[in-house]
Amino acid sequence: MISSSKSPTGETLDQAEVERFAAMADEWWDTQGKFKPLHRLNPGRLAYIRDNVCGHFDRDPRKLGCLDKLTVLDVGCGGGLLCEPLARLGAHVTGIDPAKETIEAARQHASLQSLEIDYRAARVEDLAQAGELFDIVLVMEVVEHVPDVSAFLATCAATLRPGGRMILSTINRTLKSYALAIVGAEYILRWLPVGTHRWERFVTVEELRRALGSAGLDLADATGLVYNPLSDDWLLAGDTDVNYLAAASFSKPSV
């Protein structure tokens, strides 16, 4: 086990991005605050993770303990918005984030909820080097913030157990996503602070498939997550033009 406290100086993470999120750490759990959009996204993201993982590991997604004893690594876990629900579903969750304040906020919150989650201020490189392996590796809303997607995903893949499942989410780089995610979400609706996203960093489904492939992973599925303004929530759909989720497994499971 590693409990890394060294400051993030690695190549795969952009320092400026890390600091911006750390400043928001305390606000993670305010459902009406700055992270409201993530809270709104959460049911759709969780449904996708649950159903895809249950399909992969042959579990019944209607059981409240459907993820019982599966180990999960959440890369870039932030305040723990995914770690906590997954822990409630029975998973043994490890959440890592390079920002210490964020991890501290996540830890405090989980303990108030009587949830046991292994939070560490660490980078995925640290876990990969230590040879830690997980049944499920989550790379959610992260790849659009890293400079080298292929290198980053190769490191993430090094923490995935053979036969395991990687779940990713990101934003597609299309004109529609520029209009909705940058102009709409940041400038008009003010869901996100201006500058949260850089459109040129968004990742197309094809780019994601290639990056996963070079890490030895097959893209098994890509599903859109579409905002419904009438019900003010996000629904899983075929349209991957803006937000989308993906699942991947090793092409040739090694032993």
Partner 1 sequence: MVRADESHFDVAIVGGGFVGLALAAALERASGGDLKIALIDAAPIQDLEAIGADPRASAITAASRRLLDVLGVWPQLADRAQAIRQIDITDSPLEAAVRPLLLHFDMALDGDEPAAHMVENRDLLRALRAHVLDLESVSVFSPDRISAMSAGRQRADLELETAGPISARLVAAADGRRSSLRRMAGIKVVGWSYPQIGIAACVEHDAPHEGHAVQHFLPAGPFAILPLKGNRSSLVWSERRDRGAEILADGKERVLQEIERRFGPRLGRVRLAGPYGGFPLEMHIARAFVAERLALLGDAAHGLHPLAGQGLNIGLRDVAALAEVVVETARLGLDIGGEATLERYQRWRRFDSALSATAMDGLNRLFSNNSDGLRVVRALGLGVVERLPALKRFFVAEAAGFTGETPRLLRGEQI
Nearer CB in complex with partner 1: 16/64? 64
Pick one of 11, 116, 148, 206: the residue that binds partner 1 (CB under 8 A). Answer: 116
Amino acid identity for residue 76 in this structure: G
Nearer CB in complex with partner 1: 85/164? 85
Pick one of 1, 16, 112, 230: the residue that binds partner 1 (CB under 8 A). Answer: 112
CB of 74 to partner 1, least distance (A): 13
User: Total residues at the site for partner 1 (CB under 8 A)?
Assistant: 28
3-class SS of residue 189: coil
128 lies in the binding site for partner 1 (CB under 8 A): no
206 lies in the binding site for partner 1 (CB under 8 A): no
Helical pair 149-157 and 205-214, crossing angle rounded to 10 deg: 50
Which positions from 52 through 111 interact with partner 1, judged by CB under 8 A? 61-66, 84-92
Nearer CB in complex with partner 1: 84/144? 84
Amino acid identity for residue 255 in this structure: V
Nearer CB in complex with partner 1: 89/122? 89
> Burial, 6: exposed, middle or buried (Cβ in 10 Å; 0-12, 13-18, 19+)?
exposed
Counting other chains too, the contacts that 108-115 makes at CB distance below 8 Å and 24 or more residues apart are 109/28, 109/29, 109/79, 109/80, 109/84, 110/80, 110/83, 110/84, 113/84, 115/84, 115/87, 115/88
Nearer CB in complex with partner 1: 18/110? 110
CB of 32 to partner 1, least distance (A): 8
37 lies in the binding site for partner 1 (CB under 8 A): no
Distances (CA, A) of 10 to 6, 78, 85: 11, 18, 30
CB of 14 to partner 1, least distance (A): 30
Contact 138, 72 (CB under 8 A): yes
With vertex at residue 15, the alpha carbon angle to CA 14 and CA 16, rounded to the nearest 5 degrees, is: 95
Query: Which one, of 128, 55, 66, lies nearest residue 94 by Cα?
Result: 128
203 lies in the binding site for partner 1 (CB under 8 A): no
CB of 3 to partner 1, least distance (A): 19
Q: Which residues bind partner 1 (CB under 8 A)?
A: 29, 31, 39, 42-43, 46-47, 50, 61-66, 84-92, 112-116
